[in-house]
């Protein structure tokens, strides 16, 4: 009896040990899966971080050169113009060489009334403005804003030296586009003399809101110009149609005149032939010919082989 109890206890202990081993194995497998998932998440985050670092380096390289700033600023400028309803080729053009040889080649050229043009430059650097926004130190922010103002002055001096107003005569100056109204306001607040200095050089500092106003004016001017061109085209087509109608009527009148003359001559010919037939008829009777002279067929005779002329038209043409 004791051996049976011991055997039963041993089997129970063995089963408990097996269950414990199985539970530990499942816990181990779960921990391995969680570790693998965590490792995969870490790898994905590391790849995302590397991609962000690469993009940041590309932007740093782009902002370090004027051409790179021009490409990014031009993209923002063109997208802003398109969102405002302007169409490329009709309301604006990009990278238009005004002077030849690339001496005056603005990023965007607005076309306003009377084919006047407004050059827009978008190569302004925003790096110092970003530093001023991101810092929490008032002194660092002020220093960054001062550098931001110096960058604006430097770029404005370059634009003034290009002399865009010689080829773009809408405002006799240049619009310097900055893709942030806050950056424009901060620069003007930092340097109260900046606006007067820019206006003296015919450089107009403009954020998205100001550019929207100028672009809307260009849109309305181009729309009026297109409507006027359409009206002029319709007027020209109407004039051509009027001349064509007059020519057609003259041709019909000339044809009617010739037809009337032909019918009059035809009638005189038939009358003469009929008179000649009546004149020779006694000779025919004297000759005792068994075949009389056939009567003269007229156009009005349905028995004639030719197609009869409609009576109303005949009467109208006969009145000469």
Task: For residue range 304-319, list pLDDT tens digits in order.
Answer: 444 444 444 334 434 4
Name the helix (H) or strand (E) containing 234: helix 208-286
pLDDT at 231 over 60: yes
Q: What is the pLDDT of residue 319?
A: 44
138 lies in some domain: yes
Instruction: Kindly state whether residue 216 falls inside one of the protein's structural domains.
Output: yes
Output the pLDDT for position 197: 92
pTM: 0.49
The sheet carrying 92-94 orders its strands as 92-94, 108-111, 117-121, 174-177, 203-206
Going by pLDDT thresholds of 50, 70 and 90, the confidence category of residue 320 is very low
Q: Is 191 exposed, middle or buried (0-12, 13-18, 19+ CB in 10 A)?
A: middle
Please report whether residue 35 resides in a domain.
no
Does some domain include residue 113? yes
The answer, yes or no, to whether residue 227 has pLDDT greater than 50, is: yes
In a domain, residue 187? The reply is: yes
For range 118-126, the mean pLDDT: 81
In this predicted structure, what is the pLDDT of residue 246? 81
Query: In angstroms, rounded to a whole number, what is the distance separating the alpha carbons of residues 247 and 241?
Result: 10
Instruction: Assess whether pLDDT exceeds 80 at residue 276.
Output: no
The mean pLDDT value of the chain amounts to 75
Helix (H, G, I), strand (E, B) or coil at 80: helix
Q: Is residue 310 part of a domain?
A: no
Is 103 part of a structural domain of the chain?
yes
pLDDT of 230 over the 70 cut: no
What percent helix, strand, coil does the chain show, rounded to 5? Answer: 70, 5, 25
Contact 113, 123 (CB under 8 A): no
262 in a domain, yes or no? no
Most confident region among 30-34, 145-149, 275-279 by mean pLDDT: 145-149
Q: What is the domain range of residue 183?
A: 72-227
CA dihedral 84, 87, 91, 96 (to 10 degrees): 110
- Residue 244 makes CB contacts below 8 A (sequence gap 6+) with none
Among 22-31, 52-61, 68-77, top mean pLDDT goes to 22-31
Please tell me the total count of domains within the chain: 1
Query: 186 near 145, Cβ under 8 Å?
Result: yes
């Amino acid at each position: 009896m004791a051996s049976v109890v011991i055997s039963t206890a041993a089997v129970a202990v063995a089963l408990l040990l097996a269950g414990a081993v199985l539970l530990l194995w499942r816990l181990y497998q779960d921990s391995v899966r969680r570790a693998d998932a965590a490792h995969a998440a870490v790898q994905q985050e590391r790849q995302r971080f590397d991609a962000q670092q690469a993009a940041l380096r590309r932007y740093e390289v782009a902002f370090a050169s004027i051409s790179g700033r021009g490409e990014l600023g031009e993209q923002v400028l063109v997208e802003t113009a398109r969102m405002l309803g302007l169409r490329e080729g009709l309301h604006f053009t990009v990278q238009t060489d005004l002077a030849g040889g690339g001496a005056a080649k603005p990023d965007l050229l607005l076309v306003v009334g009377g084919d006047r043009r407004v050059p827009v430059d978008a190569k302004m650097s925003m790096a110092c403005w970003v530093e001023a926004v991101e810092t929490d130190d008032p002194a660092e922010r002020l220093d960054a804003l001062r550098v931001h103002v110096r960058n604006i002055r430097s770029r404005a001096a370059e634009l003034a030296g290009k002399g865009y107003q010689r080829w773009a005569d809408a405002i006799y100056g240049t619009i310097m586009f900055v893709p942030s109204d806050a950056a424009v306001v901060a620069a003007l607040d930092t340097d109260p003399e900046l606006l007067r200095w820019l206006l003296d050089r015919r450089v107009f500092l403009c954020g998205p809101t100001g550019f929207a106003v100028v672009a809307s004016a260009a849109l309305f001017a181009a729309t009026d110009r297109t409507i006027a061109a359409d009206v002029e085209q319709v007027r020209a087509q109407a004039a051509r149609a009027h001349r064509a109608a007059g020519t057609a009527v003259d041709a019909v009148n000339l044809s009617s005149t010739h037809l009337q003359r032909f019918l009059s001559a035809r009638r005189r010919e038939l009358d003469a032939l009929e008179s000649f037939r009546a004149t020779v008829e006694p000779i025919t009777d004297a000759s005792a010919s068994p075949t009389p002279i056939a009567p003269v067929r007229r156009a009005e005779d349905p028995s004639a082989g030719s197609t009869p002329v409609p009576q109303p038209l005949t009467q109208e043409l006969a009145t000469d």
